[in-house]
C-alpha cells in the first residue's frame, strides 16, 4: 500500500480534506487570478474589446466543461481503483484516460473552429465585434488540446492523493500567461501588437509548455503511463471513465449554455451589460474557487474510501467540507458587498459597466453559501459513481429555473431581473440539494 493511499484511508478526516483542498485552491486561485489579469489587460484596450471577450466567455466555459468533465470522470474512476490497491489497473486506466482526452478534445476544438461565425451570430454579436471574436477564438481553439492533456494528466496524479504537483502546474500555467500577456497584447519590445488575439496566443503557448511538462512527469517521474496506447480493452476503460465523465460533461455544458442564453438577454440592454456580466463572471469564478477545490479534494477522498469500503469516512468528509463551504460563503459575500463599486474599476471605468457589475456583486454573492453546499454534495455523488443525480441538480439550476426566471424578470425589471433570478435559483437549488441528498448521505 502506497503512503498516499494509506494517508487517505486512515487517520482524522478534517486534516485530510484540508490537505487535499488547499493546494487545489492555490492552483485554482492562480488560474482565476490569471483570468482576472487577462481581463484587466484586455479592458485597457477599451469597452469594445471587453464586450468581445464577454461574448467569448460562455463558449470558452462550454469547451472547458468538456475538459472538466473528463477530469472528473478520470479522477473519480482512478481514485476508486487506487483505493482498491490495483496499481497495474490504475496505470492502464490512466493511459486510456489521456488517450480518450486527446481524441475528444481535439474533435471538439475542430468543431468549434468551424462554427465560430454562426455560433456568435446566434449569441447576438454584431459586425463591429465579430472580427475581434473570430481572431480570438480561432487561435484559442488551437491551444485547447494542449490544455486538455495537461488537465487530464493532473487528474491522474490527483487520484493518487497528490494535489501538490497539479497545483504547481496550474500556478506555473498562470504565471507564464501573466508574463507573456502584455507583450503580445500591447506589442511590448520586439513582439507585435496583437491586442485581443494576443491573449489567445499566450494561452496556446503556455498550454503547450505545461502539457509537455505534465507528460514528462507522468512518464519519467510517476511512471504511470504504459504501452500500448491502443489495445483491445481500451473501450472498457473508456466506458468506466465516461460513466462519470459524460454526466459531468453534460453538467459542465449546461452552465455555459445557460450563460450564453443570459448573455444574449443582456445584449438587449447594450454592450455595457455584456461587459459587466463578463467582469462579474470572472470575479465570481475567483470568489467561488474554494467551493470547487473542496469538491475536488472531497472527490479524491471519497473515491479512494469508496473503493476501500470506508463509507463512514465519506459521510464525515462531506460534513466537514460542507461546514467549510458555509464559512467561506459568508466571508466572501461580506467582502464583495463592501468592495462592490471598487473592484469593477480595475477593469472598466465606464459608469454603466461599474453600476451593473456592482449590483451583481451586491446581490448574487449573498447566495454563494447555497452554491457551495450544492458543489460539495455533487462532488461526493460523482465520486461514488452516482453522477446522474448531480447532473440533475445542475440542470435544475441552470436551465429549469435560471433561464425561465431570467426571461420573465428581465422583461419586468431589466438587467436587475437577471440578477434576481440568479439569487432565487441559487437559494432554491441549495435547499433542494440538502433535501435530495439526505438519504444518500445517511
The secondary structure of 37-89 as a DSSP string is HHHHHHHTT-HHHHHHHHHHHHHHHHHHHHHHHHHHHHHHHHHHHHHHT-HHH
pTM for the predicted model, two decimal places: 0.74
| pLDDT for residue 313 | 86
| pLDDT for residue 5 | 43
Whole-angstrom CA distances from 388 to 35, 159, 250, 294, 316 are 30, 21, 10, 20, 23
Phi and psi at residue 296, to the nearest 5°: -65, -45
| pLDDT for residue 102 | 92
| pLDDT for residue 35 | 79
CB atoms within 10 A of CB 128: 11
Grid cell, residue 170, equals 496550474
CB distance 375 to 436 below 8 Å: no
* pLDDT (tens place) for every residue of the chain, 442 residues total: 344 445 577 778 888 888 888 888 888 888 778 877 888 888 888 888 888 888 888 888 888 888 988 888 888 888 888 877 778 888 888 999 999 999 999 999 999 999 999 999 888 888 888 999 999 999 999 999 999 999 999 989 888 888 888 899 989 999 999 999 999 999 998 888 998 999 999 999 999 999 999 999 888 887 888 888 888 888 888 888 888 788 878 777 777 678 778 888 888 888 888 888 888 887 888 888 889 889 888 888 888 888 778 888 888 888 899 999 999 999 999 999 999 999 888 877 888 889 999 999 999 999 999 999 999 888 888 777 777 777 888 888 888 888 899 999 999 998 899 999 999 999 998 888 888 766 554 4
| pLDDT for residue 3 | 41
| pLDDT for residue 2 | 45
| pLDDT for residue 382 | 77
| Distance of alpha carbon 152 from alpha carbon 23, whole angstroms | 17
Burial class of residue 388 in the structure, from the number of CB atoms within 10 Å of its CB (0-12 exposed, 13-18 middle, 19+ buried): middle
| pLDDT for residue 22 | 87
| pLDDT for residue 438 | 67
CB distance 147 to 207 below 8 Å: yes
Q: How far is the first Cα of the chain from the last one, in angstroms, to the nearest whole number?
A: 29
Number of structural domains (the chain) is: 1
| pLDDT for residue 7 | 57
CB distance 57 to 283 below 8 Å: no
Give the residue numbers spanning the domain of 296: 3-441
Amino acid at each position: 500500500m502506497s503512503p498516499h493511499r494509506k494517508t487517505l484511508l486512515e487517520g482524522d478526516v478534517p486534516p485530510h480534506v484540508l490537505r487535499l483542498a488547499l493546494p487545489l485552491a492555490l492552483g485554482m486561485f492562480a488560474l482565476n487570478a490569471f483570468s482576472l489579469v487577462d481581463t484587466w489587460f484586455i479592458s485597457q484596450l477599451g469597452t469594445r474589446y471587453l464586450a468581445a471577450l464577454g461574448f467569448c466567455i460562455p463558449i470558452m466555459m462550454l469547451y472547458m466543461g468538456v475538459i472538466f468533465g473528463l477530469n472528473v470522470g478520470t479522477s473519480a474512476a482512478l481514485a476508486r481503483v487506487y483505493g482498491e490497491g490495483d496499481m497495474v489497473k490504475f496505470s492502464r486506466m490512466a493511459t486510456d484516460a489521456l488517450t480518450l482526452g486527446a481524441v475528444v478534445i481535439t474533435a471538439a476544438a475542430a468543431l468549434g473552429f468551424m462554427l465560430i461565425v454562426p455560433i456568435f451570430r446566434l449569441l447576438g454579436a454584431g459586425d463591429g465585434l465579430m472580427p475581434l471574436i473570430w481572431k480570438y477564438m480561432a487561435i484559442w481553439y488551437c491551444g485547447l488540446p494542449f490544455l486538455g492533456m495537461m488537465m487530464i494528466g493532473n487528474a491522474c496524479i490527483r487520484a493518487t492523493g497528490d494535489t501538490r504537483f497539479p497545483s504547481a502546474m496550474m500556478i506555473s500555467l498562470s504565471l507564464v500567461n501573466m508574463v507573456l500577456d502584455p507583450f503580445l497584447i500591447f506589442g511590448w519590445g520586439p513582439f507585435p501588437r496583437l491586442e485581443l488575439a494576443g491573449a489567445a496566443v499566450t494561452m496556446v503557448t503556455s498550454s503547450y509548455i505545461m502539457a509537455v511538462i505534465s507528460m514528462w512527469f507522468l512518464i519519467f517521474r510517476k511512471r504511470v503511463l504504459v504501452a500500448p496506447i491502443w489495445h483491445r480493452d481500451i473501450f472498457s476503460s473508456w466506458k468506466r471513465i465516461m460513466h462519470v465523465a459524460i454526466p459531468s460533461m453534460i453538467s459542465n455544458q449546461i452552465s455555459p449554455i445557460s450563460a450564453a442564453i443570459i448573455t444574449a438577454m443582456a445584449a438587449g440592454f447594450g454592450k455595457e451589460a455584456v461587459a459587466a456580466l463578463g467582469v462579474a463572471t470572472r470575479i465570481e469564478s475567483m470568489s467561488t474557487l474554494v467551493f470547487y477545490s473542496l469538491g475536488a479534494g472531497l472527490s479524491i477522498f471519497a473515491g479512494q474510501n469508496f473503493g476501500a469500503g470506508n463509507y463512514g469516512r465519506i459521510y464525515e468528509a462531506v460534513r466537514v467540507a460542507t461546514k467549510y463551504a458555509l464559512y467561506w460563503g459568508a466571508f466572501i459575500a461580506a467582502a464583495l458587498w463592501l468592495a462592490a463599486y471598487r473592484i469593477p474599476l480595475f477593469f472598466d471605468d465606464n459608469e454603466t459597466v461599474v453600476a451593473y457589475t456592482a449590483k451583481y456583486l451586491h446581490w448574487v454573492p449573498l447566495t454563494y453559501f447555497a452554491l457551495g453546499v450544492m458543489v460539495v454534495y455533487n462532488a461526493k455523488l460523482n465520486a461514488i459513481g452516482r453522477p446522474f443525480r448531480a447532473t440533475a441538480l445542475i440542470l435544475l439550476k441552470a436551465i429549469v429555473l435560471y433561464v425561465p426566471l431570467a426571461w420573465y424578470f428581465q422583461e419586468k425589471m431589466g438587467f436587475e431581473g437577471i440578477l434576481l433570478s440568479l439569487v432565487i435559483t441559487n437559494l432554491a437549488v441549495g435547499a433542494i440539494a440538502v433535501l435530495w441528498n439526505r438519504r444518500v448521505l445517511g
